[in-house]
A and B are shown apart, each in its own frame.
Chain A
Amino acid sequence: MMGGFITPFLINSAVQAITPILLAALAGTLCGRVGVFNMAMEGQLLVGAFAAVVGSFYTGSALGGVIVAIVATVGFSLILAYGATVFRGDSVVICIGMNLLASGLTAYLLRQMFGVSGTFSDPGIVGLEKIRIAAINTIPWIGWIFSRQTAITWLAWILTAIVTIVMFRTPLGLRLRGVGEDASAAETMGIDVTRYRVVTVLVAGALTGLGGAQLSLGTVSIFSEDMSAGRGWIAVVAVMLGRNHPLWAALACVLFGLADAFSVRLQGQGLPNQLTDVVPYVVTLIALVISHRRRRSRVSETITAHA
């Protein structure tokens, strides 16, 4: 029964689908740790996806696409990096603006540059190569998960580990956590809070750029309007579920990826897709509620411990 329900292809594509969300969630985690609430990942992924297609199309190489995607999202992230720090804007307002801007801007540029609306596909767009590991390719589960994934997927998980180590084991990470917890305390210890925040938001921008490139070049090598399709929002939820801890956020992403794969499967069973599309969001909502309840009981424990 398992064999019929869970196929190698399903598992493989679930891992692929997690990648952009994971990278966006890492970005959100980093920003959260320095006290900048980033919920512009939806727009950042979209800008990254579009720029990746542009880069790939004009340079004729996937790597070119990835580089253009990173540069473009870092540039796009300057809005949040400076808006929420130097210009003391409200990050929620800034992020809503960025998400709207990304949607409109990519649609506009799509028309201007390629003369199409909706979806742009062209043989000239070079997709990311899937790394096929011959030794394990046919082994159930291990092969399904690890073989035939893009370099960005591998990188995403390596970055998850790196972000975790940097955050919790290095002076840089300690300083970042301090900046997020109490900026004025960090300032009295000689930390340039604004600089730490700006750089962190830009690094987070680079991560979402990678995520965007995976989105448009990882599986289909096309760009279509609003193709981030809520993934950035799911990442925001993952950040909140994970309470700015990269590993917990990653776990939340995996949970969402599985729910997504499950919904695809249910569609295959003949359920209407309007219904099955809801599954990942229902899972997310349930997870949010459970985590919130747990947090509340923990808060009341600490209050009692204080008394």
Chain B
Amino acid sequence: MATVELEAIGIVKRYGPLVANDHIDLSVLRGEVHAVMGENGAGKSTLMSILYGMQPPDEGSIILRGAEMHYRSALDAIGAGMGMVHQAFKLFNSLSVWENVVYGMEPTRAGLIDRKKAAADVAALAARYRLLVDPNAIVGKLSVGVRQRVEILKALYRDARVLILDEPTAVLTPQERDGLFDVIRNLTADDRTILFVTHKLHEVMAITDRVTVLRDGRVVERMVTKETSAREIIRAMTGRAVNLKVEKGPSQPGAVVLAARGLTVGADGGKPVVDHVDLDVRAGEIVGIAGVAGNGQTELIEALTGLRIPDSGTVTLRGKPVTALDVERHRDAGLAYIPEDRATTGTALPASAADNLAMGFQRHAPLSRSGLLDGKAITAHARDLIARFGVKIGSEKLPVKTLSGGNLQKIVVARELSHTAPLLIAEQPTRGVDVGAIEFIHGQLVAERDKGRAVLLVSAELTEIMALADRILVMFDGRILAEVPAAEATEETLGLLMAGRVAEAA
């Protein structure tokens, strides 16, 4: 019989009228991988921050290896053997791997940092759990997957017995993800316990032993992974059956809407970030760009949308050359754009939902009359979109910074889809959005395709690309490495291509 490593009993956390955690009981066994699942706003993050000592619970207790814990800060939790890898890494990019790992617990000799010992300790720890990483490398130059290993090393250096992994695979290639799963197995073999917070069902099925599902701040289900199914977990998370597969018929591609030829960005500093990219997107099709973040997708989209003027090459939109034109002229020529980052580029956070939804429409009737904005029309426009897209917001006058990530994304999607432009570029349209909202956004994108729009989809999420795209372009190192028809794409081939391994994928 396995022993209980970590227990949370009756955890309650309130933020004003909102009950984020409502009497949550959680029991985690030593050496298991325990998934904590739930939609956005279900209370996962709150629970994890309480378990990690970042905030105290209003009620309830935390019991770690049989002893009740009263954390004053994360430092107490770390001291008690908790570790956490945050979704947004907490690393110092200009410092080396070993400096990041020993930070705050530096080995010293005569008052100075014992660099040799520090680097050796980190190397030994890395070897023990097969976390391949060079202790002397500068963190900022490492790939995302390796940075994650540095985060794990940080926790292990402090001898974390329980490791919380918050959405750990969001930024990884399938191969990197498999590497992480190997590391997780090494850790549990060493009797360390993993709390795995995620949205992704297939990963839960692949790596976890048990699942606790949260909904609206409460535990709705506790399951043993082997005895359940993805469908059942979804039902527990959303309270209904969600359509996992996107329903769509075959595409009927029409005329070319967006064409890029020899597009090159960033050639001045040596190797280009976007390297002679050719690409066509036709009306009535969804073209997906797959790739690990940082392989030039962002820059490519910037060049296609007019946010950045390419160093060479051409972009035409419906036959009109737009290469050197600004964003506004791109939009006039027929572009709608869901940007990658909803909080900084997608919306103006302090502005109201009504203003955010009116953006891009402000120069023309009906929202603008003889150069002045029409407040009534803006309100009506906002109310209409909020209702149609099911945005959960008290009033269109509220600033959008009060919205959850999923609702904020809906604001962006609603606005861009209401521009009836022939080309839609959607960059990571469902990043950090919960299952219900993903289903909705996916349905909308397919509906737009069927209306005859050309859709260019960029996503780091392979399942999303595979579910939506009619053709898949794999981007690696600034180039389009391959084009794969959606029907022939498998996660494995795409994963190999995303890692630049063309020969193995063929």
> Is the A/B pair a real complex?
yes
**Cα A186 to Cα B100 with chains together (Å):** 10
Binds B, one of A21-29, A89-97, A107-115, A177-185: A177-185
Which residue of B90, B94, B113, B266 contacts A170 across the interface (Cβ within 8 Å)? B113
A189: chain B residues at CB < 8 Å are 90, 103-104, 154
Which residue of A186, A188, A191, A303 contacts B273 across the interface (Cβ within 8 Å)? A303
Q: How distant is A265 from chain B, measured CB to nearest CB, in Å?
A: 41
**Cα A184 to Cα B54 with chains together (Å):** 12
**Cα A42 to Cα B475 with chains together (Å):** 52
Q: How distant is A248 from chain B, measured CB to nearest CB, in Å?
A: 15
**Cα A171 to Cα B104 with chains together (Å):** 7
A-contact 0/1 string along B128-164, CB 8 Å cutoff: 0000000000001100000000000010000000000
Task: Say whether, besides A181-B93, A191-B104, A170 and B111 are in contact (CB < 8 Å).
Answer: yes
Q: Which residues of B (263-295) have their CB < 8 Å from a CB of A?
A: 266, 268-273, 294-295
**Cα A182 to Cα B92 with chains together (Å):** 6
**CB <8 Å contact, B92 and A177:** yes
Binds A, one of B70-78, B323-331, B355-363: B70-78
**Cα A191 to Cα B104 with chains together (Å):** 7
**Cα A251 to Cα B113 with chains together (Å):** 26
B244 CB within 8 Å of chain A: no
Q: Which residues of A (267-307) have their CB < 8 Å from a CB of B?
A: 297, 300-307
Chain B, Cβ-Cβ closest to A184: B90
Task: Say whether, besides A170-B113, A189-B104, A181 and B271 are in contact (CB < 8 Å).
Answer: no
Q: Number of A interface residues, CB 8 Å? A: 26
B478 CB within 8 Å of chain A: yes
Task: Say whether, besides A171-B106, A174-B99, A301 and B113 are in contact (CB < 8 Å).
Answer: no
A197: chain B residues at CB < 8 Å are none
B-contact 0/1 string along A149-190, CB 8 Å cutoff: 000000000000000010001110011011001101110111
B478: chain A residues at CB < 8 Å are 307
Q: Which residues of B (31-78) have their CB < 8 Å from a CB of A?
A: 73-75, 78
**CB <8 Å contact, A171 and B141:** no
Q: Number of B interface residues, CB 8 Å? A: 36
Which residue of B91, B111, B141 contacts A182 across the interface (Cβ within 8 Å)? B91
Q: Which residues of B (294-351) have their CB < 8 Å from a CB of A?
A: 294-296
Chain A, Cβ-Cβ closest to B93: A181
**CB <8 Å contact, A182 and B90:** yes
Residues of A in contact with B (beta carbons under 8 Å apart): 165, 169-171, 174-175, 177-178, 181-182, 184-186, 188-191, 297, 300-307
| 7 further contact pairs, Cβ within 8 A, besides A297-B269, A307-B294 | A177-B95, A181-B95, A188-B90, A189-B154, A300-B269, A302-B141, A304-B272
6 closest Cβ contacts across the A-B interface? A300-B269, A190-B75, A185-B90, A171-B106, A189-B104, A307-B273
A-B contact pairs, 28 of them (CB 8 A): A169-B112, A174-B95, A174-B99, A174-B106, A175-B103, A177-B92, A181-B94, A181-B95, A184-B90, A185-B90, A185-B91, A186-B104, A188-B74, A188-B84, A188-B90, A189-B90, A190-B73, A297-B269, A300-B269, A302-B141, A303-B269, A304-B266, A304-B271, A304-B272, A306-B141, A306-B294, A307-B271, A307-B295
